[in-house]
Chains A and B, each alone.
Chain A
Amino acid sequence: MTDTFSVAGKEYSSRLIVGTGKYKDFGETKLAVEASGAEIVTVAVRRVNIASPGEPMLVDYLDPKKYTFLPNTAGCFTGDDAVRTLRLAREAGGWDLVKLEVLGDQKTLYPNMPETVEAAKTLIKEGFQVMVYCTDDPIQAKVLEDIGCCAIMPLGAPIGSGLGIQNPVGIRIIVEQANVPVLVDAGVGTASEAAQAMELGCDAVLMNTAIAEAKDPIRMARAMNHAVQAGRDAYLSGRMPKKLYADPSSPLAGLI
């Protein structure tokens, strides 16, 4: 039985997307990505350090032919900066699938939704496939889907906070109304929260800090891999109804 996750016309067997930031070194990044089972990894676009050529590069450790590189716009606070960054990313990598995030505030890293919507329109017009980081507001999520974003990625909690899913009702409503994949992006802190995202019916989960800042990132990557699969299976299984009182698990007939 195959249960694949499809985004922008490509099928993936893993429903965990991992970031590649905050690791001790590229060696650790590679091992954590492998343990996570992820097939899509997010990457940032930054200036090359002209002063020290020959420094190791991420692509020397993670092969873009093996993993789908999803360039992000982390650190962009205007739609124009985000669009400019992704145009460069497309030229650097040669593919159209991108993660758009336009931040609105340094302290919370909450998305600026009006800027996000305008940037998404521009990118889609230019042929990009846009996976979009957004608030957990179902109305904004619908707006983004209607303008043509290929995946909706509401935050579970502020980026890097590890607070877990703060608004499960909002996420569930977004999942129910969406006709494109929905991913919880940001806020997951530990494995049970990744499972919760999947049990809410999300198509996948995107995380970075929960793995990279664990004491043992490689073991946590493996935990997240299992949690996402467990949560997905639990969602597809259909959970039992909750009851107020006990219901014995052993038959009463034949009791001595």
Chain B
Amino acid sequence: MINVTINGDQHSLDKAVCLVDLLEKFDIEHDKVAIEHNLEIVPKSTFANVMVGDGDNLEIVHFIGGG
């Protein structure tokens, strides 16, 4: 088991996963979001190569209505 923080909340995962698999697990369409991994922006093209490990911090954001 690994523990990761996603958008401020703790989540437990069975094992380390890449970002593509993580988005799939949470049913999030990857072309509509951006991800910050331990304060670093992750280019969309590298989602498959970036692994999420124990203690990592992720921010997953998208566009919402705003002025």
Contacts and interface: CB of A to CB of B under 8 A. Distances in A.
A84 B34 CA distance: 12
Q: How large is the interface on A (under 10, 10 to 19, 20 to 34, 35 or more residues)?
A: 35 or more
Nearest to A61: B65
Interface in A30-76: 42-48, 50, 53-54, 57-59, 69, 71-72, 74
Nearest to A212: B67
Nearest to A51: B9
B51 interface: no
A48 B66 contact: no
B27 A45 contact: no
Interface in B11-37: 11, 26-28, 32-36
Interface string B31-67: 0111110000111100000000000000111111111
A50 B11 CA distance: 10
A209 B66 CA distance: 10
A50 B7 CA distance: 8
B24 to A, nearest CB: 10
Q: How large is the interface on B (under 10, 10 to 19, 20 to 34, 35 or more residues)?
A: 20 to 34
Contacts of B11: 50
B2 to A, nearest CB: 16
Given A48-B28, A89-B34, A91-B44, A57 B65 contact: no
Contacts of A43: 63-66
A22 B65 contact: yes
- Max chain A C-beta neighbours (<10 A), residue from B34, B35, B44: B34
A48 B64 CA distance: 9
Interface string A66-96: 0001011010000000001001111111000
10 contacts: A19-B67, A21-B64, A44-B63, A46-B64, A47-B7, A48-B28, A48-B61, A50-B28, A57-B64, A84-B36
9 tightest Cβ-Cβ pairs between the two chains A and B: A44-B66, A19-B67, A208-B67, A92-B34, A53-B27, A91-B34, A20-B65, A43-B63, A47-B7
Interface of B: 6-9, 11, 26-28, 32-36, 41-44, 59-67
